[in-house]
Amino acid sequence: MKKIMYAALLCAAMVSCKNSEETKEEETVITEETETANKDLAYASFGEEITAAGALDAATIAERYESLKPGDTISTSFVSTVNSVCKMKGCWMNLEIPGDEDVSVKFKDYGFFVPKDIEGKEVVVEGKAFLKEVSVEDQKHFAEDAGKSEEEIAAITEPKQELAFLANGVLLKQ
């Protein structure tokens, strides 16, 4: 009786070992497919998980900002180039769009930050676009964070209306 039990146990062990090898092969294939997909994306993600699909280009978002009135807000995503970023912690950035102004981007609830060395890089942002009046004090604070000279900071004397964006997620092109 003991011999039959040992034989059954040995057979079960052999069968389970064979299934383990097949599972490893399947896992390897799945891992390779995932790595290939990740290489195609080539984005670092910050904040909420977002996608680049359907993001507007910089010219289109500039047109949307032209049609906004104070108090209007639109939910959107767009692709642009970073002109400047907070040098202290990466808590804001300015994005280039056609025209005289940049879009000032801040992050929802200061829940995330971006790297401080991304000037000139392409990003996709998703969130809410709106117009905002910025006080002289805030303008000077942002100028200091951006590393502007004392003369540039002293030249700020009036509040201004800016193109603002509250991002809930950012993709940084690698």
Average pLDDT along the chain:
84
pLDDT in the model for residue 37: 41
What is 46-173's CATH number? Answer: 2.40.50
Mark the ranges of the chain whose per-residue pLDDT is less than 70: 1-3, 5-41
**Cα separations (Å) of 60 from 28, 67, 80, 88, 97?**
43, 11, 11, 31, 9
pLDDT in the model for residue 143: 87
pLDDT in the model for residue 60: 96
**6 DSSP assignment:** H
pLDDT in the model for residue 120: 96
Put simply, whether the predicted model's pTM sits higher than 0.75 gets the answer: no
Q: Where are the domains of the chain?
A: 2-41, 46-173
Euclidean distance between CA atoms 112 and 91, whole angstroms: 8
Contact assessment for residue 101 and residue 162, using Cβ atoms and an 8 Å cutoff? yes
Candidates 96, 87, 104, 106; CA nearest to 46 is: 106
pLDDT in the model for residue 23: 44
Q: What is the pLDDT of residues 46-86, one digit of tens each?
A: 999 999 999 999 999 999 999 998 889 999 999 999 999 99
